[in-house]
């Protein structure tokens, strides 16, 4: 659900105009993570994004996803620099490792570890991904300076909000993994890379409706003025396969099923889809900010549905406890979720 933020390098920003008389710390930022959490469980959104409680536990899925994204960005940036293919693959691997180190090196090293999201699996997945899409129809789309549109942040004006008597802008922030051009018809596509441990046959169907995807198309059209055809939902399966040394298939030797572990699904959005997205996002934002400004100490809990999603909510024990503050102070830390960090500032 959360964005796979790359922390090892600052993110270039493409931002819509914000009036100069608004102090930066008064601008309200929301992103897909905040709003989807709020729609899933209001109390979870309060604890995580209003009270700013973040779990102390490491999150291998987020670390692994962030590293994989960094690797792919490294590859396409190297392609744009005109480097030869082998060099680009090495650059991708370096980017993966650099990101892993920047995140504290918490992922295990070997494929044989009980935690499937290891650095070794990540590097081989990266190699397999690049080999799988070697003859892809998409090529880098570059700006006038020849820079590719890879891992770009955006900050999009969503609406105004009156807070403490002042009218302030609400910005919707996010990031495009990359924007590429199809060699078939010259059309532009936003790429959204996803690492998942869900089966891809089912996962690729999650493209529509999908607010995250629709938001990326809307932002690309609004901010960049690009005639984006749609989004390529670019999925990579994180398996728990161990190395199979009894086969001559060199991918299976490193736990990868070359045919099944990667899939892409193109999805388009009509003008009507974008209008509906805008309506829903503004409504969710108004509801969220209204509750935030109300100062209510407890928001609605969507129990039990939300409690068991995505392997279990991190606040499940907090909500079930008679003494939540003890659990919060021992198992969580106060850290503001800053979706704009690295997008409007150099993180």
Partner 1 sequence: MKPLSEMSTEEARLEILRLRERRLQARQAEIDAEKVVKEKKPPSEKKKRPSDGEMDSELGSLLDSLLTDGGTNESLDRMLKNLENL
- Using CB under 8 A as the criterion, which residues of the chain lie in contact with partner 1 when the complex forms? 90, 93-94, 97-98, 100-101, 104-105, 109-111, 119-120, 123-124, 243, 245-246, 253-254
DSSP 8-state symbol, 344: T
Residue 32, H or E segment:
helix 32-40
What's the CA gap between 99 and 8, in Å, rounded?
A: 5
- CA dist list (Å): 165 to 18, 43, 161, 257: 18, 26, 10, 58
Residue closer to partner 1, measured from CB, 71 or 148: 71
Report in angstroms how near the CB of residue 99 gets to partner 1 at its nearest: 10
CB-wise, 101 or 321, nearer to partner 1?
101
Query: What distance in Å separates the CA atoms of residue 105 and residue 319, rounded to the nearest whole number?
Result: 31
> How many CA atoms lie within 13 Å of 88's alpha carbon, on the beta-carbon side?
17
Output 124 or 262, the one with its CB closest to partner 1: 124
Q: In the complex, what is the shortest distance from the CB of residue 333 to partner 1, in angstroms, rounded to a whole number?
A: 22
Q: Are strands 138-140 and 150-163 parallel, antiparallel or unpaired?
A: unpaired
Q: Across-strand partners of 156? A: 172
Smaller CB distance to partner 1: residue 16 or 120?
A: 120
**CA distances, 130 to each of 73, 88, 112, 134, 242 (Å):** 12, 10, 23, 6, 21
Smallest distance, Å, CB 124 to partner 1? 8
Q: Which is nearer to partner 1, 10 or 108 (CB)?
A: 108
Closest contact distance (angstroms) between CB of 87 and partner 1 is 13
Q: How far is the CB of 8 from partner 1 (least distance, A)?
A: 10
Provide, rounded to whole angstroms, the least separation between the CB of residue 259 and partner 1: 20
Q: Distance of alpha carbon 35 from its chain centroid, rounded? A: 14
- Residue 103, classed as helix, strand or coil, is coil
Cα separation, 288 vs 42, in Å, equals 8
Length reported for the chain: 347
Helices (H), 179-258: 200-203, 211-219
**Residue 110 CB: number of other CB atoms within 10 A?**
11
**Closer to partner 1 at the Cβ: 161 or 251?**
251
List the one residue out of 97, 27, 106 whose CA is nearest residue 338.
Answer: 27
Question: How many helices (H) and strands (E) in the chain?
Answer: 10, 10
- Minimum Å gap between C-beta 60 and partner 1 is 15
Minimum CB distance to partner 1 smaller for 107 or for 219? 107
- Closer residue to partner 1 (CB): 120 or 287: 120
Q: How many other C-beta atoms can be found within 10 angstroms of the C-beta atom of residue 147?
A: 14
Q: Which of residues 102 and 309 has its CB atom nearest to partner 1 in the complex?
A: 102
Compute the least distance from the CB of residue 253 to partner 1, in Å: 7
- Bridge partners of 159, per DSSP, are 170
Q: How far is the CB of 120 from partner 1 (least distance, A)?
A: 5
């Amino acid at each position: 659900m959360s964005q796979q933020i790359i922390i090892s390098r600052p993110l270039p920003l493409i931002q819509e105009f914000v009036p100069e008389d608004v102090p930066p710390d008064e601008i309200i930022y929301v992103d897909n993570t905040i709003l989807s959490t709020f729609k899933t469980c209001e109390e979870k959104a309060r604890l995580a994004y209003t009270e700013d409680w973040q779990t102390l536990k490491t999150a291998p899925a987020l670390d692994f996803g962030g590293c994989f994204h960094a690797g792919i960005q490294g590859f396409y940036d190297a392609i744009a620099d005109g480097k030869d293919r082998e060099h680009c693959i090495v650059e991708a691997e370096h980017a993966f490792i650099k990101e892993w180190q920047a995140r504290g090196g918490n992922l295990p090293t070997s494929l044989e570890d009980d935690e499937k999201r290891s650095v070794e699996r990540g590097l081989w997945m990266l190699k397999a991904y690049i080999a799988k899409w070697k003859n892809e129809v998409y090529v880098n789309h570059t700006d006038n300076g020849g820079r590719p549109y890879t891992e770009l942040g955006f900050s999009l004006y969503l609406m105004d909000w009156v807070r403490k008597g002042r009218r302030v802008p609400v910005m919707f922030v996010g990031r495009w993994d990359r924007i590429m051009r199809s060699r078939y018809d010259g059309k532009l596509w936003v790429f959204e890379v996803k690492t998942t441990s869900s089966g891809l046959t089912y996962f690729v169907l999650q493209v529509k409706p999908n607010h995250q995807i629709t938001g990326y198309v809307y932002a690309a059209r609004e901010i960049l003025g690009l005639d984006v055809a749609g989004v390529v939902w670019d999925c990579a399966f994180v398996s728990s396969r161990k190395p199979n040394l009894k086969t001559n298939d060199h991918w299976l030797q490193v736990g990868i099923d070359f045919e099944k572990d990667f899939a892409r699904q193109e999805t388009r959005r009509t003008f009507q889809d974008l209008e509906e997205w805008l309506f829903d996002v503004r409504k969710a934002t108004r509801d969220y900010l209204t509750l935030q400004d109300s100062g209510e100490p407890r928001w609605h809990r969507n129990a039990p549905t939300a409690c068991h999603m995505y392997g279990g909510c991190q606040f499940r024990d907090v909500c079930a406890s008679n003494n939540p503050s003890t659990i919060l102070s021992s198992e969580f830390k106060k850290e503001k979720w800053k979706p704009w960090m690295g997008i409007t500032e150099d993180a």
